[in-house]
Structure 1
Amino acid sequence: MLNLRRGLLALFALSLTTFATAQSGPAWPTKGPIRLIAVFPPGGSVDQVARILSQPLALALGQAVIVENRGGAAGSIGTAAVAASPADGYTFAVVFDTHGVNPSLLPNLPYDTRKDLVPITLVGTGAMVLATAVGSEYKTFADVLAAAKAKKNVSYGSIGSGSLGHLAMELLGKSAALDWQHVPYKGGGPLMTDAIAGHVPLSIGSVFLTKPHIDSGRLRPLAVTTSKRSPDLPNVPTVAESGFAGFDAPAWWAVLAPAKTPPAVMQRMNTEINKILKNPEIAKKLTAQGIGIVGGSSDSAQLFINKQIDVWAKVVKDNNIKAD
């Protein structure tokens, strides 16, 4: 009888273990490598974020983590590849703020942004900077506003039609009846070259893109687009404090997974990335890219991204903005 009772207890314990395993899903990760798809080419901030995260992630997960660059079409090519990947926890995307603009800007996206992808976490946000050549007539943001209101042929350059910088300037212009013209460039390099030379009077770009030229004394910062001043440019006023209360147009970076990725994998990745973001050494590297660390849950990241999609969809529609 005693042996029978022990046998029944052992069977009960085994059944509980089997049930728990079935509920939590198979162990992960058990194979490598894990891929982080950076949806922009090497050298930019998305690539940098992916590479900063990859090494500590590999140590935390005990598997190789490789960064694979798949740029093109404002990040949608790499994002589409992740959306179409198996939802097994071995492929993730590192995306930029264009992820929130693409649904309204790019026709026939091969994925549904809200349904086919789910965020692991929002890595961080950063300011965009409105700047001018150091020898420019514009000494302050107020000078730009006065010229635009007086219809003095004010123009600004961005990294391309439909970029967040372009949309932010259009939103600002429409809200205040400002008359300025957009000059789209094929990326940050050409934009900075012309901005420094004064060929385009104003430039709008991320801190990552603009600050090196501010530090070298070739560009003068006039305003930042976030609701709070950038820690990298503490003396530069925000658009919001310059007469446009509530204005907030941040750049942002996030890690995404294919929809239907197992909840246990999602939670593990979220936990590990949040731990990494709290590491002072990693935080310092990200801050150097002009990124203010956010972190947090998948749900909070989804709320943020959904809001970005909604805000910029209205700007695209109201201003009839088309992609390059």
Structure 2
Amino acid sequence: MVRKLSRRAAVASVVATALLGTVAWAQNGSASFPDKPVKIVVPFAPGAGTDAMGRLMAQKLGEVMGGSFVVENRTGASGAIGTQYVAQQPADGYTLLLVASPFTTVAASLPNAGYDPLKSFAPVGMIASGPLVWATNHQTGIHTMQELVAYAKQKPGVLNYGSAGAGGVNHLVLELLKAKTGTFITHIPYRGVAPAAMDMVSGQVQLVTGTIPALLPLVKDGRIKPLAVTSAKRSSAMPDVPSMAEAGFKGFDVLNYFALAAPAGTPAAVIDKLNTALNKVVQLPEVVARFKLDAVEATPGTPTAQAKFIESDYHAWRDVVQTQNLKIE
């Protein structure tokens, strides 16, 4: 009897020590965070819009938190390689993921994406978001989204649409339009929006969507015509271009977004500290000015708000994939 009690006491002592250690880390470890460099993994190549956003966040988070934040590019599989890497890292807050639209579109469209956007990560907070813009060349004679849909219904498959790649937001936004309007437009995937846009100028494709900064120079040069932005409201970067609701497509609201996430299981105290700093960063005057150049708006908020956004976005795109019976490898 005495031995059993001693063993129980010993076990209880070990458990208590472990719990105290966990509590002490939560109190003291998070208080000193970050006390070594924090890595922000950008799952796309240097020079891309996501890379620029990641480097901006790294610089400003370092300034606000008084630590070192560095960007590491891990490319491949439409962002899935870098995303998988972060999901497998220690859940201590020292490896973060720069999240962008492919985070949800790739997971929704590829059965073997290798990560679960709802379970593999702990949301840190949203950064910014902005719409894409529908554009066509002048050879089509199309001036509005209504005219585009009418043409597509009259001549199924005649219009060619260039996307930045199968399974990306530029592809799925087309499939969403087709699903909502009962039209058929031929999808042609490219390695990025730029080559697709140039082929549209030359007439090889007739329609693209892209971020406003990517297509605005061609609009200003008069080489392509914007039809609508993909959001429910207009963009201040293109105030003369109607929203999808104004174009006659209510309930159509697609945003290109940026956020930060950490591996699932990262302590709440660390997440909260990162979120507080991130919310300060996205509202800095110089950051807001940079966002304006990128045609996005700051979206400060809580990790819970980000989780709800990601869940809604993922399920919406999965519904499109299933409705359109898309088979993407």
TM-score w.r.t. length of structure 2: 0.88
Moved more, 100-109 or 223-232: 100-109
Could you say what the CA RMSD is over the residues aligned between the two structures, in angstroms?
Answer: 2.0
Change (3 A) 1:194 1:19: closer
Q: What SS does structure 2 have at the residue aligned with 1:94?
A: strand
Q: Cα offset for 1:165?
A: 2.1
Determine which of 69, 72, 79 is the counterpart of 2:83. 79
Give 1:29 deviation, angstroms: 2.4
Aligned residue in 2 for 1:300: 305
Equivalent residue number for residue 197 of structure 2: 192
Is the Cα–Cα contact under 8 Å of residues 223 and 239 in structure 1 kept in the other structure?
yes
1:44, 1:169 → 2: CA distance? 22
- Structure 2: which 5+ residue stretches go unaligned? 1-19
Residue 10 (structure 1) aligns with: none
State the identity as a percent: 35
**CA 1:112/1:20 → structure 2, altered by over 3 Å: closer, same or farther?**
closer
Among 209, 213, 219, which residue is 1:214 paired with?
219
Q: CA deviation at 1:24?
A: 2.5
| Contact 2:133–2:209 under 8 Å retained in 1 | yes
Deviation at 1:23, TM superposition (A): 4.7
Aligned residue for 1:147? 151
The 1-side partners of 2:34 and 2:168 are apart by 39
* 1:170-214 alpha-carbon deviations (Å, 9 max, x no partner): 122122212321111111221122122222111111223222322
Q: Aligned residue for 1:109?
A: 113
Distance 1:103 1:223 in 2: 27
Q: 1:89 aligns with which of 81, 89, 93?
A: 93
Q: TM-score, normalised by structure 1?
A: 0.89
Q: Which runs of 5+ in 1 are unaligned?
A: 1-16
Q: How does 1:43-192 map to 2 (within 5 A)?
A: 43-151=47-155, 153-192=158-197
1:100 Cα deviation from its structure 2 partner: 1.1
**4+ runs deviating over 3 angstroms:** 17-23
Match of 1:291 among 296, 302, 307: 296
1:11 is matched with none
Which residue does the alignment assign to 2:15?
Answer: none
- The yes-or-no answer on 1:275 pairing with 2:280 is yes
Q: What is the match of residue 230 of structure 1?
A: 235
Which whole-Å deviations, capped at 9, do the CAs of 1:266-289 have from their partners, x for residues lacking one?
011100110011111111112211
Cα distance in 1, alignment partners of residues 90 and 22 from structure 2 = 25
CA offsets, 1:281-315, max 9 Å, x none? Answer: 11111221121211100000000000011000011
Q: How many residues align?
A: 308
